[in-house]
Structure formats: structure tokens, C-alpha cells
A and B are shown apart, each in its own frame.
Chain A
């Protein structure tokens, strides 16, 4: 297991920031941690890096306990903080050399390792530049290059694309995709589209509770739509499943004769014209037929307004 979190609790005085969450990340891949402001994302990430001590519960990273084996954990974690935590007076090369020494990169490999990280983050020509004179996005990339130093098996990234321009975001996603096969990457983000684009799994936090655990890989290539129709519920449900391209049908609400269904269908087929024809031929009146919001957004919104799930 790359990351194991059990019954994690963190309180700051009277405030309970994390209320007994638990999850496991078995191996390489990109896992997203999403949630509104104050959900406890950054606190969770800080505890995983052993910077913060939990009030209760256990955390293991790369097989080491963050409390009793903090040093071993830190050797195996690359951390990108939410703020651009870099020294503005230093040059990029100097800063990375300092960080490489702290991370115990052997002297003979140091220059090559710094070059590798600079190249991976698109900073090859920036070695002699003073960090304080770089743009926000470039500073972010310097911090990312620092996180990549010594090729840690676990990467913990707090809002990694904040402040990057669309091109840089695209490059960053490419970089994550490259690293995902060998590294366990846990990133926090507010941007659901980003989570959908890069993560194979998403953990949804709300008010210190884990309210959902979404496997995104399964929903890739799928879309959903909403149909509100009048007619016999069981018959409609069974009939809809016979339409080519529809993968699942779920009743979401009922109002007298009117039934609302959420339909999951293949992304390459727009099933709405077929659905309209299908219902009209059977004499079922349609009140709504629309493409639903992306799956993650729908689940996120649902999770925010629901009680903490069994995922916690």
C-alpha cells in the first residue's frame, strides 16, 4: 500500500478539521482530493507529509508511519505546497541544489537530477534566473521541480495547477500522466474538470468527512442524460434498457405519473433523438430530456448535500 489512512482525526483547539476519515491508495496512479474550502484537504496532505501530527488515527506512507518514522516518510515524499514556497532571492539552480542536498541526493548525481527535474518542468533555460523575478506560474514550476527531486515514489501536490496558464496546465497534465505509472500521486484541487482529466480516483471531502470515493476510470467514455417521462415506471425502466448505447437506467425521482430517470450511455452516441422517438411511439409524454452534468460534478454536488457516506 502506498498510502493508508485510518480513523484520522485532527483538531485545532475546539475546531475539528478532520473527523475520522480513512482511505487506502494501493499503488501507482493519480488520486484526487476534492472538496470545498475548509473541507480539510490541505490539513490531510500536511499530515501525510508528517508536517502536522494527527490528533488521533494513523497514517502510513510508502509503508512507514508518519509519526514514528517521519524521516523515512519524508525521504519518500515529494511535496508541493499550496503557496509558492520558494526563496525569492535565490537563483533557480541554487535553490534546487540546496533542496537536493537536504533530500540527500548523492553528490555525484545531483547535477543530473536537477537537470532532469528542470527539464521535466520546462525550466531548462531558467537555472540562472532569480526566482523572485519569475512569473507566478514559473515559480510554481520551480516548486514542482523541487517536489520531483530524488524521484520520490509518492508525490503530494496541493493545488498544483493554481496560477498556471492553460498551456502550462496541459503540460502539467502530460507530466502527471507520464509519472502515474510509477508514482503514487495524491493531489488536491478545486477544479473538477482537472480531477476528471488526470485522476483515476477521486476522494471527496466535506467538513472534515470523506463523503464519496469515486472511481473515475470506470466512467471514462461515458455520458449521462436526464429523462422525465409520464407512464408505467417498471415498463419504461425495462424498455429504456433495450435502446442501443444505453448502459444503465436509474430512477432519480417520481411525481405522480411523472418519472425522472438518469441514464448512463456511451459517450460516442447521442441517445436523445432515439429516446424522443422511442417515447413518442409508445405514447409516453416527455417533460424533460437533457444532457446531465458531467458524472463527477453530479456526484460532487450530491455528496456535498448528503450525509457522510460509508466511504469514511
Chain B
């Protein structure tokens, strides 16, 4: 037996408005919490002298790298064998100096984000305020990504200066610059996700940094998989699948100005997945 109760016509409308209103409130509240944590983390990063030492080191490495680029350009070696071999494209793409710097910057920025908070006891104090662990991790992730991009800024500034410096003004396709910046930003999402996962798992910041470097090396080694598969004459579909996870190739493609939204979505999704795992790890460990 069921009882039928007549509902006024406007009830579903009110209910949906209420639901939307609650959803909006939740979104605003969550965004506020994430932003608060992110701003605090960015300020905390730049409160430490190590942040400026790292920025100085990045500037010096970028400067050295830039001097090599200028030398190559002066020698007239601008006609590449393939697009990604173009020294200009390489500068903001598959560049050993840049990738090596990223592998130093990411662990230094992320290693203490959770492991150090746990060691000091501030993690407990943070999670006894009305914020969710995922909001804290998201805020820390945003801060880590911002700090990494700030440390890569010298490379971008050098190329921008090459293009727009008064009197120098080397004419080249601005797609190199835009694509390169998007590429670095995109790949940094995954690298920061790895860093945050490692700091969530490890007890000590140093262990987290070692784990982050190891995971990043493993990720970069995956970039060699497509060539190896071609050598072993594996199926094309397998090679295509391996190319999708080849970070080095992603950087190469972006730096030529070829911005593939699928790659961006892939990195965003993978970073979200890493954050989700980090969140689960935090829940289990706490």
C-alpha cells in the first residue's frame, strides 16, 4: 500500500533552486578554503631564503642555457632536421637544462608540504579547522604549481627578451613561446602531483624528495618506450599508446607550438588522480 500525496507545482522548482544554491555555496566555500591554503603556502615558500637561492640558481642555469641558444643562433643553425630539434623550440621544450631544473625544483617545493607538516604537528591543527583534506591538498598543489612556474620564469623571460628586447628583436614565431609555456605548465601539473603524493606517503621530507625524483626519472624513462617499441617492431597501436604517456615527447610537441588539448586533459586528469590517491593516503595515515 502506498499513499499518494499531491505536491504543489512549484516544489520541484524550489527544490532545484535550493540544490543549485547549496551547490554554489559549497563551491564558493571550497574555493575559498583552497585559495586560503594556496596563498598561505606560496607566502610560506617565499618566506624561506631557500626559495630565493633556488630562483637564483634557476636564473643562472637558464642564463647559461640561453647563452648556448644565442651561440647556436649566431652560428645560423636555425634550420632544424625536425621541428623539435630547432634550438628555439628546444629552449622551452625537450631541454636537458630545463628538465633537470624541474627535477630539482619540484621535490624542493613539494617535499615538506605534508611530511613536514606532520612532523611539526601542524597537519593535525590544520585538519581540526573546518576544511577537508582534499581542500588542503588542492591548495598545496596550486601553491606548488605556482612556485614551480615562478622558478621556470627565467627561461620564459629570456625567450621573451630575445623576441621583444628593444634593438634585439629577433623575429620568430611566437608559437614557440606560447606553446612552450603551456607545455611546461601542463607537464608541471603531473610533476607537482607526483611530488604531493610522495610527501603524503613519506614520513620525512628528505625521503619524499628522493621518492619524487625517482618517480620523475621513471616517468621520463617512459618517454623512451615508443622508440624501443619501434625498434622491436611492436604493433602501431601499442606505440601510439606509449606516445600518449611520453612526457618528453609532449614537451617537444608543445614547444613547436602544437598545443594538443587531449594532452592537456591527460595531464590534468592524471594530476587529479594523483591528488585523489594522496588524499586517500592522508585519510589512512591519519
On whether A87 and B44 interact (CB within 8 A), knowing A51-B286, A81-B121, A101-B36, the answer reads yes
In whole Å, how far is B54's beta carbon from the nearest beta carbon of chain A?
A: 16
Interface segment out of the listed A71-79, A193-201, A218-226: A71-79
A79 contacts which of B48, B128, B132 (Cβ < 8 Å)? B128
User: Could you tell me the distance in whole angstroms from the C-beta of B35 to the nearest C-beta in chain A?
Assistant: 9
Does B173 lie at the interface of the complex (its beta carbon under 8 Å from any beta carbon of A)?
Answer: no
Does chain B have a CB within 8 A of A181? no
The reply to whether A71 and B130 contact each other, CB–CB distance below 8 Å, is: yes
Contact check, B36 vs A98: say whether CB atoms are below 8 A apart. Answer: yes
The reply to whether B130 and A74 form a contact with Cβ atoms under 8 Å apart is yes
B155 to chain A, nearest CB (A): 28
Instruction: Check: B127 CB closer than 8 A to any chain A CB.
Output: yes
- Given A51-B286, A85-B121, A89-B47, verify A99-B129 contact (CB < 8 Å): yes
Bound: A82/B128 CA distance, A:
13
A81 B124 Cβ-Cβ under 8 A: yes
Q: Does A7 contact B (CB under 8 A)?
A: no
Decide yes or no whether B100 CB sits under 8 A from chain A: no
Mark out the residues of chain A between 129 and 179 whose CB falls within 8 Å of any chain B CB in the assembled complex.
Answer: 143, 146
User: Are B44 and A102 touching (Cβ within 8 A)?
Assistant: no
When the two chains form their complex, are residues B40 and A51 in contact, meaning their CB atoms are under 8 A apart?
no
Residues of the B chain whose Cβ atoms lie less than 8 Å from the Cβ of A51: 124, 127-128, 286
> A62 CA to B135 CA in the complex, in Å?
24
User: Is the C-beta of A56 less than 8 angstroms from some C-beta in chain B?
Assistant: no
A residues 94-113 near B (Cβ < 8 Å) are 94, 98-99, 101-104
A50 and B132 alpha carbons, distance in the complex (Å):
11
Does the CB pair A81–B125 fall under 8 Å?
Answer: yes
Q: Does B228 contact A (CB under 8 A)?
A: no
Contacts A85-B120, A85-B121 given: A49-B128 contact, CB under 8 Å? Answer: yes
B132 and A71 contacting across the interface, CB-CB below 8 Å: yes
Total interface residues in chain B, CB < 8 Å = 23
Would you call B286 and A86 a contact (CB within 8 A)? Answer: no
Interface of B, helix, strand, loop or mixed by DSSP: helix
* CA distance in complex: A40, B130 (Å): 24
Q: Return the contact of B130 from the options A46, A81, A94, A103 (Cβ within 8 A).
A: A103
Query: Which single residue of chain B is at the shortest CB-CB distance from A99?
Result: B129
Residues of A within 8 A of B29 (CB): 104
Answer whether residue B43 sits at the interface, using C-beta atoms and an 8 A cutoff: yes
Q: Is the CB of B121 within 8 A of A83?
A: yes
Q: Is A52 an interface residue (CB 8 A)?
A: yes
Alpha-carbon distance A84/B121, docked complex (angstroms): 7
Contact A104 B120 (CB under 8 A): no
Residues in B with CB closer than 8 Å to A52 are 286
B36 nearest CB across to chain A (Å): 5
Is B124 in contact with A75, judged by CB distance below 8 angstroms?
no
Pick from B29, B37, B129 the residue with the most CB of A within 10 Å. B129
**Residues of chain A within 8 A of B126, CB atoms compared:** 102
Say whether B129 contacts A102, CB under 8 Å. Answer: yes
Contact of B40 among A77, A84, A98 (CB under 8 A): A98
B181 to chain A, nearest CB (A): 30
Tell me the B76-128 residues at the A interface (CB within 8 Å).
Answer: 120-122, 124-128
Chain B proximity mask over A16-53: 1 for CB below 8 Å, otherwise 0: 00000000000000000000000000000010011110
Q: Apart from A51-B124, A102-B131, A103-B130, what are 17 other A-B pairs with CB-CB below 8 Å?
A: A49-B128, A51-B127, A52-B286, A75-B130, A79-B128, A82-B121, A85-B121, A86-B122, A87-B122, A89-B48, A90-B44, A90-B47, A94-B43, A99-B129, A101-B36, A102-B33, A102-B126
30 A-B residue pairs with CB within 8 Å: A46-B124, A49-B128, A51-B124, A51-B128, A71-B130, A71-B132, A79-B128, A81-B121, A81-B124, A81-B128, A82-B121, A83-B120, A83-B121, A84-B121, A85-B120, A85-B121, A85-B125, A86-B122, A87-B44, A87-B122, A89-B44, A89-B48, A94-B43, A98-B36, A102-B36, A102-B130, A103-B129, A103-B130, A104-B29, A104-B130
